[in-house]
Every structure is written in C-alpha cells, then in structure tokens.
A and B are shown apart, each in its own frame.
Chain A
C-alpha cells in the first residue's frame, strides 16, 4: 500500500465548475499537507500548505485536511482552462521531513 493514494483521473470539467481533488494517506505521523500544481514538462509549484486538520482558503482554492479519516482535499471554484494541469498532494511528518507525493490527478478544464 502506498503511503499517499490519489486517483490519477483524468478529470475533465467544463469551465466554471467546482473541482474536487482528493487524497488519502496511511501514515499517522503526517502533519503537513501540501497541494502542488504541475503543468506539462514543468516542475511542481506550491498551491496550498496546511498544518494539521482544518480548512485553508486562498482565492479560488480551498484545502481541507481531516486527520481523523486521513483524508485531504483541494477544491477549485470557478475553474478556468488555465487550471488544466496535474495536481499532486504531498504529505510529511515534520517541518523538515521529506515529502511523500500522491500519484497526481490530471485535470482538464474545457471552455
């Protein structure tokens, strides 16, 4: 079993839709949770960074962490074609620990 599981999709939605991306993890020691966006042939860029459980909002993006169920989510409101990319969740146990990535979900937002 992988430490971080993520549905690879692909996921295709119309412009303006609300997108829900999810990951589950198995390591109870994980305390830091990140979402990265990766465009084709580019390195990942950090979208959201959350410590422990709770919600965090940044513009059209909302990250949720439920440590009791080991479930993390990213919601994208009013999705745009420019949001089309691969979204990777990542977890780590300590502030200086190594990142463990999910497989990534390929998202396409069509006009």
Chain B
C-alpha cells in the first residue's frame, strides 16, 4: 500500500513554455501533499505544502506565481511550472500524507524536468 505516482516521469520543454506535473496517491486519500525540488547530488528542498481544497503554502524564496500548485482532490495534486527557464531544470518529487493513523509521507518516483 501507500503508493504515490507521478506523471510524467521526465519532460523536456523549450524555454518559456509551461509544464504540468501530476502527483497521485493510488491507494489512500492524501489530505496533504508536498512538492520538493532536488538538484544533482543535493538534498530535497521543500517547495510547498498543499492541503486538499486549500491554497498551497510556499516556502520562503519559492515564487508562487511561477510554481502553481493545485490540490483539487484527495488523490491528485498538480504542479505547473510556468514560463520555464533552464534554471528550473531539476528533479521534482511529490509526497503525500493521509493524515489518518500512521501519518508518514510517501514519496513519488519523481519527474525530471529539462528546460532547453
């Protein structure tokens, strides 16, 4: 149990375009989802926390107008990187937490974004 999926697993786009990444909890309802960014050989940096039906809470230094997060249902959250630039190239990972009982975060497999 506790499977989190992400789609796509990798994406290449041109500078200036927008990219949407989906995060789904497959076998549990995720009241809270988290989005992380990870640069090569570096740790995970939390970008934002989203609760179903509420606006996301962004970490300091993360542009909320650039990284749009929607948590429309208990099993789906999306991250849209708007007007992507090469410096946005990174590994984006989501995690989900049910908030019931054992409330550990379960991580998705990540999405590799390359902006040309």
Determine chain B's interface SS by DSSP, over half rule: strand
CA–CA, A99 to B59, complex, Å? Answer: 12
Indicate whether A59 reaches chain B with its CB closer than 8 angstroms.
no
Total A-B pairs, Cβ < 8 A: 47
| Chain B count of residues within 8 A CB distance of the other chain | 23
B44 and A46 form a contact (CB under 8 A)? no
Indicate whether B49 reaches chain A with its CB closer than 8 angstroms.
yes
A95 and B112 form a contact (CB under 8 A)? no
CA–CA, A34 to B107, complex, Å? Answer: 13
CA–CA, A41 to B49, complex, Å? Answer: 22
Category for how many chain A residues contact B: 20 to 34
Determine chain A's interface SS by DSSP, over half rule: loop
Indicate whether B46 reaches chain A with its CB closer than 8 angstroms.
yes
A102 and B104 form a contact (CB under 8 A)? no
A45 and B43 form a contact (CB under 8 A)? no
Residues of A within 8 A of B (CB): 6, 8, 34, 36, 41-46, 49, 88, 95-96, 98-99, 101-104, 106
Closest 3 CB pairs of A and B: A43-B107, A101-B43, A103-B43
